Chain A
């Protein structure tokens, strides 16, 4: 018990270390309050066009890339879960895109998306990927999806591996098709892991900065995200506007995360008191072996 105060103080110090940052936010907030025009400018004033464009880009990138990543990630996880040979190889391969620094992956894709680069050579097209417009947006999304879907794949794979085999055998004996098994068994049972993965990805995609910054560049209308906009303002010493942008972004992220957790019930906090996901899992799993037992009864 001697160390309880000390250790809790360490815990508390973590807490206050972070609220120190909040205080900085407050300082900035107050300054912005002094010149409330910053917010007015963002929403209705001179900056509004650029702001709404960045907001739309951020949202567009997040929705499209997270959706694609989820589909590809789940598909990879299903394949990896059933791959008989080469599991160690797959695990290492899947970690490579995840581990490459985003700045490096931005450069790498910039190189592949060159006018006379490998992507145009393979597809036989002459698209200017890294200029402005739809092509640049597509380039950012492709690079983002490449880098991050393996991460979703890994988390979902971990979720898949704890589904007991008996559940599938039972379903098969009851004549469920592979498709039906996926929708009725795999997806509900893997949902907790998938939700955590998607939530992490949402958070990351909403603050996207490195990739469009390196792949296409700052001050490009079609790929400017809120993070880039805030950075650019700070870079031009417009701290008031920059802080206002970043606070709006922070609020936007918080709202989306709150809605996500509320609507879909992702449990990232893993509090000791309430762990609804495990009880849900239990309920979903326990009836399943019964049909198998029942069937065995019949064959006997």
Chain B
């Protein structure tokens, strides 16, 4: 990121020239250049906004209709109703339990992955040892594993050792995808932190461990937090592992529970309940997005622009 900006320094003596050619430059300096103004700008914002939000809005609206008028196509429900939400939590699906399961699996996965990733990222960004790049490459390469090629062998192992229908049967395979993601983001982040402070601390007699704990960890806290958010979202959304490792409704996670919703009547899929459950699963993520959007974007793009 920094290379480009450093590469193009403003030549000295440029500022006076700017004032000499006011119509070319002065206006542009005042605001970010090349912006879309007026109708075009509004149209772009509306277009992207509708594209991204319309399906989500439809899920929200459908979840608030009564089961009788679920097939209405009006933009707002004729009668607002929480009928579907009541059904989600009261029915045989036991959705509240599934949410708790999701929370347990996602939180544990995130916590364990972070502990691993902090040490691994520290080792890769601060220490010199042989095969460092090989290890980083292997860690990243594991994230390209198709989920299914981890699930199939583990399915057998777990049935042999009686882990089917347990939390750890979901957490351990999830880790093999959460750890590479966390290591990747954290390593990029730690590499950007200056080494000078730790060096200074060690010159003053701090041990490596103290420098790590008292200097680097506080500095890296924002990056660790960003990593935690992204890892949590990934684990929360995980589907194939939870679907394969668990068939007991008492242990299954929310994403799997939703896909298995069946209605009271045999004739019609319970779309109202499905939409309500979808909104419930998505709302925590939307809240996280609204609060932490900057951090999430930073974490997502850190690898791409470094």
Which residues 189-238 of A have a CB within 8 angstroms of B? 192-193, 196-197, 203, 206-207, 209-210, 213-214, 226-227, 230-231, 234-235
CA of A209 to CA of B152 in the docked complex: distance in angstroms? 14
- Indicate if the CB atoms of A286 and B123 lie closer than 8 Å: no
Residue of A nearest to B35 (CB): A84
Is A4 a contact partner of B4 (Cβ separation < 8 A)? no
Interface residue ranges of B190-211 to A (CB < 8 Å): 207-209
* A130-164 near B? 1/0 per residue, CB < 8 Å: 00000000000000001000110011011100111
Cβ 8 A contact of A83, one of B35, B138, B233:
B35
A96 cross-chain contacts in B, Cβ below 8 A: 52-53, 56, 286, 289
Mark contacts of A247-267 with chain B using CB atoms, 8 A cut-off: 1 yes-contact digit, 0 otherwise: 101100110010000000000
Interface size class of A (residues with CB under 8 A): 35 or more
Contact across chains for A24 and B135 when beta carbons are under 8 A apart: no
A213 to chain B, nearest CB (A): 8
A116 CA to B44 CA, complexed, in Å: 31
Question: Contact: A103 with B259, CB < 8 Å?
Answer: yes
Main secondary structure on A side of the interface with B? helix
User: Are A89 and B49 interface neighbours, CB within 8 A?
Assistant: yes
Minimum C-beta distance from A84 to chain B (A): 4
Q: What per-residue 1/0 map shows which CB atoms of B169-192 lie under 8 Å from chain A?
A: 000000010010001000010000
Say whether A227 contacts B239, CB under 8 Å.
no
Would you call B31 and A231 a contact (CB within 8 A)? no
Give the residue of A27, A158, A270 whose beta carbon is less than 8 angstroms from that of B301: A158
How many angstroms from the CA of A245 to the CA of B233 in the assembled complex?
29
Q: Name which of B21, B36, B149, B156 has the most chain A CB atoms within 10 A of its CB.
A: B149
Q: Given B20, B58, B176, B188, which contacts A18 in the complex, CB threshold below 8 Å?
A: B176
Q: Is the CB of B137 within 8 A of A269?
A: yes
User: Looking at chain B, what size class is its interface with the partner chain?
Assistant: 35 or more
- What 0/1 pattern do residues 66 to 104 of A give for CB contact below 8 A with B? 000000000010011011111011111111110111111
Q: Residue B73 at the A interface, CB < 8 A?
A: yes
Give Cα A11 to B133, complex, Å.
11
- Nearest CB of chain B from residue A136's CB, rounded to whole Å: 16
Interface centre among A235, A281, A296 (most CB of B within 10 A): A296
Is B263 engaged at the interface, CB distance under 8 Å to the other chain? no
Q: Are A11 and B140 in contact (CB under 8 A)?
A: no
In whole angstroms, how far apart are the Cα atoms of A290 and B305 in the complex? 25
| Chain B binder among A35-43, A44-52, A106-114 | A106-114
- A92, A150, A159: the one within 8 Å of B293 (CB): A92
Give Cα A90 to B133, complex, Å.
Answer: 37
With a CB–CB cut-off of 8 A, which chain A residues contact B233? 99
Residue of B at shortest CB range from A272? B133
User: For window 1-24 of chain A, which residues contact chain B by CB distance below 8 Å?
Assistant: 1-4, 7-8, 10-12, 14-15, 17-18, 21, 24
CB <8 Å contact, B149 and A249: yes
Q: Does A289 contact B (CB under 8 A)?
A: yes
B168 within 8 A of A: no
Task: Please name the residue on chain B nearest to A14 by beta carbon.
Answer: B120
Find A168's partner among B7, B34, B154, B244 (CB 8 Å cutoff).
B34
Known: A84-B37, A101-B281. A92 touches B290 (CB 8 A): yes
Question: Taking the complex as formed, is A59 at the interface, i.e. its CB lies under 8 A from any CB of chain B?
Answer: no
B8→A107 contact, CB < 8 A? no
Complex: how many Å from CA A293 to CA B221? Answer: 43
**Contact between A271 and B151, CB atoms less than 8 A apart:** no
A14 to chain B, nearest CB (A): 5
Contact status A239-B4, CB under 8 Å: no
Q: How far is the CA of A109 from the CA of B282 in the complex (A)?
A: 15
Q: In the complex, what residue of chain A is closest to B130 when comparing beta carbons?
A: A8
Whether the pair B45, A231 counts as a contact (CB closer than 8 A) is no
- Are A243 and B35 closer than 8 Å at their CB atoms? no
> CA A27 – CA B52 in complex, angstroms?
45
Q: How far is the CA of A11 from the CA of B35 in the complex (A)?
A: 46
Chain B residues 246 to 278 lying within 8 A of chain A, measured CB to CB, are: 255-256, 258-259, 271, 274-275, 278
Q: Which of A102, A150, A253 contacts B52 (CB 8 A)?
A: A150
Subset of 29 A-B contacts with CB under 8 Å: A12-B135, A14-B139, A15-B138, A25-B149, A79-B47, A90-B45, A92-B289, A93-B53, A95-B293, A107-B258, A107-B275, A108-B275, A111-B59, A111-B62, A112-B55, A117-B71, A146-B55, A154-B300, A162-B5, A192-B305, A203-B143, A209-B239, A226-B148, A234-B244, A242-B152, A249-B146, A285-B7, A296-B21, A300-B17
Q: Please give me the 4 A-B residue pairs with the lowest Cβ-Cβ distance, nearest first.
A: A207-B146, A158-B301, A246-B149, A84-B35
B residues with CB within 8 A of A: 1, 3-5, 7-8, 11, 17, 20-21, 28, 31-37, 41-42, 44-45, 47-49, 51-53, 55-56, 58-59, 62, 71, 73, 116, 119-120, 122-124, 127, 129, 132-133, 135-140, 142-157, 176, 179, 183, 188, 207-209, 212, 233, 236-237, 239-240, 243-244, 255-256, 258-259, 271, 274-275, 278, 281-282, 285-286, 288-290, 293-294, 296-297, 300-301, 303-306
Other CB < 8 Å A-B pairs besides A95-B297, A100-B56, A299-B21, 16 of them? A2-B208, A7-B122, A79-B48, A85-B45, A93-B48, A95-B293, A100-B282, A101-B237, A104-B258, A163-B4, A209-B147, A227-B147, A231-B151, A234-B244, A243-B153, A289-B8
